[in-house]
Amino acid sequence: MIELQHLSKRFLDNVVLDGVDLRVDDGQTVALLGPSGVGKSVLLKHIIGLIKPDSGDVIVDGLHVPLLRRKELAELRSHIGYVFQAGALFDSMSVYENIRLGITDETCYRDDGYCTDRVRECLRLVNLAPEVAQKFPAELSGGMRKRVSISRAIAGKPKYLLYDEPTSGLDPVNADVIDGLIERLQQEIGVTSVVVTHDVRGAFRVADRIALLWQAKIRAVGTSEEILQSKDPAVHQFLERDLEMAVIQSESDDGSHV
Amino acid sequence: MNGVPVALDLRRDVGRWSLRTAGHAGRFTFLLFDMVRGLTEWRIWLPRMVEQAVNTGYGSLFIVLLVSGFAGAVTSLQTGYQFTGQLPLYVAGGVIVESMILELGPVLSGLILAGRIGARYAAELGTMRVTEQIDALESLGRSPISHLLLPRVIAGLFVIPPLIMFADTFGVLVGWVTAKSTLGITDADFVYGARYFFRPLDLWYSLIKSYFFAATVTIIPCYIGYNTQQGAEGVGRSTTAAVVASCVTILLLDTVITKLLLG
């Protein structure tokens, strides 16, 4: 279980998170919605201990993340897969080496046979051909890079998966493919996931619960039905604008194919 | 009328500068501790260190020899210009050998390597920082210190002192050939002069300096690159800062070590 308690963070004068509470139960997928620059990625980085909060607590698997020592944090991180917004693939390494680094069990990591099989399995899970393993990140398209990034995140068989804008910068077709992938991984490997996104359609598709981060606070949390029925004007404003943008985008994509 | 705001600005600037300097000192010290702690993870840094050592050592050999060769030739020509007719010719042997071993070999090589290796390390690590590759490594429960920093620093400590020794030797050889062709000094006179002024401490002094310079051109750029912020501009700033800081530190260390060992 992941639990954020009264989490606050500011960078100089900019309050990014102000007393945020959020709970993600085991096996659940929570989508964290919010406009760009609102602090969604900052919140996600708190979960994995890449950023320390000014106040409040982050509890993952019963462990208080801000209080963990370096070794304990490394141990916890080996159970968490993190998909970075821009992929963050190691550009001097091949896809194989990138995914292999995701195998966090040291005994398995040193076993070449296991690693080869595991890399092939992870590529299969994200619908990539085994030959992709020999390529370098610079040779891949944006969608493929995202999928390799997901492969690396799941290579260590994590208990938790954190996705930071998994569909940003992708065309609607590729975004759908990634959303489908998140859904399928959830069913196949049963991880607890947090998906940070500003894509409302994707969030409604993949998540069991949705949270809206608005002006440094969690403005609403609930199932997709509860969110849709919310009377909160901020929730309506965000959902309507984003859906409107999605319609405009899909119309312009249709037009470009004519 | 303007005195008070100016004074306040000055106080604020001094305060900010002090805080920033203290912050750097603290982070740098922690980084050094982390690197010492990371030495136990030799299974991780050793293979990467070999790769880095081959890249930095082999790749830097040509430029280091080129610079030391020119330094040897110029020293020889200037020695001829200043001493011909004033002192016995064999003195040129001593001046060329001592200049190369004591000062020109280590310092010029150090400065060249600060530009070549230092800029490369800072740019590589800076780019990895701003593209979240270092965060990604941490998110996988792996230490950036043992994966990225230690291989670079230890590789530098292994290859830079031999590079500087090669530079010393090559500079002396080029100086010798130049002295023979321009001053007309005989081999026997050159060797006599070189041996007359040479002391074993000179070589130790050069070697000790080379280790300090090796640490400077690896650790400082690694620290600056590792702490890069703000995108492509930040990488550019880090690269420049790494080269400038390494060069200034080399000159500072040169003075301090000379005072301690020869002063």
Q: Measured between alpha carbons, how far is B94 from B110 in angstroms, rounded to an integer? A: 23
Q: Measured between alpha carbons, how far is A45 from B73 in angstroms, rounded to an integer? A: 57
The amino acid sitting at B107 is V
- The CA-atom distances, in angstroms, between A113 and each of A80, A120, A252, B140, B257 are 24, 11, 48, 21, 52
Residue B172 has what pLDDT?
95
Cα of A48 to nearest chain B Cα, Å: 7
**C-beta separation of A20 from A7 below 8 A:** yes
**C-beta atoms surrounding A254 within 10 Å:** 10
Pick left, alpha or beta for residue A200 (phi over 0 → left; psi -120 to 50 → alpha; otherwise beta): alpha
Q: Measured between alpha carbons, how far is B51 from B61 in angstroms, rounded to an integer? A: 16
Under the banding of pLDDT at 50, 70 and 90, the label for residue B81 is confident
Q: Measured between alpha carbons, how far is A207 from A201 in angstroms, rounded to an integer? A: 10
Contacts of B138 in chain A (CB under 8 A): 50, 77
Structural tokens at position B180: 């023979």
Contacts of B38 in chain A (CB under 8 A): none
Contacts of A74 in chain B (CB under 8 A): 141-143
Residue A245 has what pLDDT?
57
In A, residues 217-256, which contact B (CB 8 Å cutoff)? none
Nearest Cα residue in chain B from A101: B140
Closest residue to A86, CB basis, from B131, B141, B142? B131
Q: Do B140 and A102 touch (CB under 8 A)?
A: yes
User: How far from the centroid of its chain's Cα atoms is residue A77's Cα?
Assistant: 14
Average per-residue pLDDT in chain A? 86
Which residues of B make CB contacts under 8 Å with A? 128, 131-133, 135-143
Question: Residues with Cβ < 8 Å from A80, sequence gap 6 or more?
Answer: A47, A48, A60, A158, A159, A160, A161, A162, B139
Count of CB pairs separated by less than 8 Å, A with B: 51
Site of tokens 């023979």: B180
Site of tokens 């804008």: A165
- The top-level CATH class assigned to A2-79+159-257 is alpha beta
Residue A255 has what pLDDT?
47
In three-state secondary structure terms, A29 is strand
Instruction: Give the H/E segment covering residue A67.
Output: none
Contacts of A102 in chain B (CB under 8 A): 140
The amino acid sitting at A54 is D
Contacts of B136 in chain A (CB under 8 A): 82, 84, 88-90, 152
In chain B, % of residues over pLDDT 90: 74
Closest residue to A88, CB basis, from B135, B141, B143? B135
Structural tokens at position B159: 């290859």
What are residue B112's phi and psi, to 5 degrees? -65, -40
Q: What is the pLDDT of residues A126-140, one digit of tens each?
A: 888 999 999 999 999
Q: Do A50 and B136 touch (CB under 8 A)?
A: no
Structural tokens at position A46: 């708190």
Within B61-104, strands assigned E span none
Question: Residues with Cβ < 8 Å from B9, sequence gap 6 or more?
Answer: none
Site of tokens 């403005």: A219
Q: Measured between alpha carbons, how far is A3 from A5 in angstroms, rounded to an integer? A: 6
Residue B46 has what pLDDT?
92
Q: What is the pLDDT of residues B199-209, one digit of tens each?
A: 889 999 999 99
Q: Measured between alpha carbons, how far is B67 from B89 in angstroms, rounded to an integer? A: 25
Instruction: Give the H/E segment covering residue A15.
Output: strand A14-24
Nearest Cα residue in chain A from B124: A92
Where chain A has pLDDT below 50, the residues are: 255-258
Q: What is the ipTM of this complex?
A: 0.84
Residue A258 has what pLDDT?
34
Q: What is the pLDDT of residues A1-34, one digit of tens each?
A: 899 999 999 988 888 888 889 999 888 899 998 8
Q: Which residue did the predictor score with more confidence, B11 or B3?
A: B11
Residue of B30, B44, B137, B140 to mutate when probing chain A, most A C-beta within 10 A: B140
Q: Do A74 and B143 touch (CB under 8 A)?
A: yes
**C-beta separation of B213 from B164 below 8 A:** yes
Q: What is the 3-state secondary structure (H, E, C) of B139-156?
A: HCCCCHHHHHHHHHHHHH
Judged on CB neighbours under 10 Å (0-12, 13-18, 19+), B105 is buried
In three-state secondary structure terms, A215 is coil
Which range, of A143-157, B105-119, B166-180, averages the lowest pLDDT? A143-157
Closest residue to A75, CB basis, from B135, B139, B141? B141
Q: Do B141 and A101 touch (CB under 8 A)?
A: no
Under the banding of pLDDT at 50, 70 and 90, the label for residue B113 is very high
Tell how strand A80-83 and strand A29-33 pair up: unpaired
Q: Do B139 and A77 touch (CB under 8 A)?
A: yes
Cα of A119 to nearest chain B Cα, Å: 15
Q: Measured between alpha carbons, how far is A41 from B255 in angstroms, rounded to an integer? A: 48
Q: What is the pLDDT of residues A203-229, one digit of tens each?
A: 888 889 999 888 888 888 888 888 888
Residue A106 has what pLDDT?
82
Q: Measured between alpha carbons, how far is A81 from A44 in angstroms, rounded to an integer? A: 12
In three-state secondary structure terms, B39 is coil
Q: Do A78 and B140 touch (CB under 8 A)?
A: yes
Interchain contact A75–B (C-beta under 8 A)? yes
Closest residue to A88, CB basis, from B133, B141, B142? B133
The amino acid sitting at A230 is S
Q: Do B140 and A104 touch (CB under 8 A)?
A: yes
Tell how strand A63-64 and strand A192-197 pair up: unpaired
Interchain contact A48–B (C-beta under 8 A)? yes
